[in-house]
Structure 1
């Protein structure tokens, strides 16, 4: 069923007036500084903390931070972990921070780790998918991006490393996708979208041009020990996309401007946690994100070792 939206005229894309009205309706609901920046600062003795940009919005200034593991060594493979590309997806942010706090040190022996835990801090504070300009950062990873969040992350990666071995992007799929964000998208673009069934459980989104099937399977098997994996619907789909294997769908990440598409990493995946499930709580969602990162790194490390033998 399609849900109408309170802003705009059906069938007509938004202009500046509608975007301004949408922005006025957004409210700060939590603190990026208290919930994210303080945790980053607490880990400054274990990592090099890099401020890789600053978003200057009417609502305030948002410094952008990333961790770099130490010592950084050009001979090591480099892995990018990103969270909060969609700021409202809480366990992506907190999962990246928890990985940094509890697991990253052991993996830094084998990898250069670049961790950007909250790519969209305004979205985190307002619990939003878009930035204040009504742009989706996770559809904006391409040259000359109009989204400052996306442009800053791409610049960070370009200035930090040559080639990424892996990119793990932490996300959620929530009930608000149907109640707020998809209706808003349809209104903004002057189109009509039907709601999709929200998968109850964890799943992965791979790149259709580089699906990394074996790695995705390894992650699903590991995460299944922490939380439940989303079953496909009656058509064998998750959020409208056909499954490539249990718990996995593939998207053309580069053409869609998705975060994992810009990095050209050999191994890449996007996690999707369902925080609204009655079977989970916030802590379980964070643990699922951490398990996804560590199981991916374990798989990649084994693949790299096998290649050296």
Structure 2
């Protein structure tokens, strides 16, 4: 468990205690850079799945007229991959890259599709969105170009296009999903960049949190499913280590509901897993900066989380028959 000082140094954009205006947001945007390309890393792997799955373009993001458009802008197709399963089967949603910088979420969703999804297509309708926030993926960012966090924008008042386009698409299917697994990471940059930037943007004081060394889950406090979370953790534990609680019995400042799991009010705060009324939801959190985990393990941990959840649901349905 990494233990940072409670107070981080002031962020170097804006005035302490004052929320950002458009000028500060533009200043933040101007310093961003592209480090990788969605069209090179993600789209070819999705295209290669078309012989086995349906690939659906559910929207587009047009960021061609933002600051530094020549090097920072982009036009992005938003793609979902759907299994060719019987329509009477329950729907399970998997999302990655809601926070584009969280690499194993994107790679885990793609690897699951490439290696494991076909084994579950006779049991579930699978809907996988590998990269919800392609601009964030390219710039290694938590926010979109408007300094908005997509993973706080899935509620009724959400404004991030990344979130609202996906929510509209899923709602338009007319199917209440059985489950939704959203693939995330908690990184050291949460304390060095993203939380200080958030505090500066909102004009509040930042308090760093202890970054858990290991994998953990976020359940929905309004409809908790501890056995579902435990099945996911048991599966992941075969790949990488599960995070221990800190000295206060917490993870990222939140009390544990069981070892390796905390709970958030996902619908209230606009998280991706709160966009439907799916009874089984889980947000994964991988720690890619751990000296005890490789990038390959982080990706495989995400795959193991998905398969662990699906195996639990498949066994549950089998017992109900």
Q: TM-score by structure 1 length?
A: 0.98
**3-state DSSP of counterpart to 1:188:** helix
The equivalent of 1:2 in structure 2 is 8
Residue of structure 1 aligned with 2:82, choices 56, 64, 68: 68
CA contact (8 A) 1:226 1:284 kept: yes
For the pair 1:126 / 2:139, whether they are aligned, the reply is yes
Gaps of 5+ in 1: none
Provide the residue aligned with 1:192 in structure 2: 205
Q: What SS class does the counterpart of residue 293 from structure 1 fall into?
A: helix
Structure 1 distance, partners of 2:34, 2:51, is: 30
The gaps in structure 2 that reach 5 residues or longer are 1-6, 65-72
Asked if the contact 1:2/1:192 (under 8 Å) is kept, the reply is no
Moved more, 138-147 or 4-13: 138-147
SS of match in other structure, 1:185: helix
2:275 paired residue number: 262
Partners of 1:85 and 1:120 within 8 A in 2: yes
Residue 14 of structure 1 is matched in structure 2 by 20
1:291 matched residue in structure 2? 304
Superposed, which structure 2 residues align to 1:127-276 within 5 Å? Answer: 127-143=140-156, 145-276=158-289
Verify the 8 A CA contact 1:86 1:120 in the aligned structure 2: yes
Q: Could you tell me which of 42, 45, 50 is aligned with 1:39?
A: 45
Specify which of 55, 59, 69 is matched with residue 61 of structure 2. Answer: 55
- Runs of 4+ off more than 2 Å: none
Q: Is the 8 A contact 2:152 2:158 kept in 1?
A: no
- On the 8 A contact 1:205/1:250 being kept in 2, the answer is yes
Taking the aligned partners of 2:106 and 2:254, their CA distance within structure 1 comes to 25
CA distance in 1, matches of 2:9, 2:95: 31
Q: CA deviation at 1:195?
A: 0.6
Secondary structure of the corresponding residue to residue 67 of structure 1? strand
Question: What is the Cα deviation at residue 307 of structure 1?
Answer: 2.0
SS in 1 for 2:42: helix
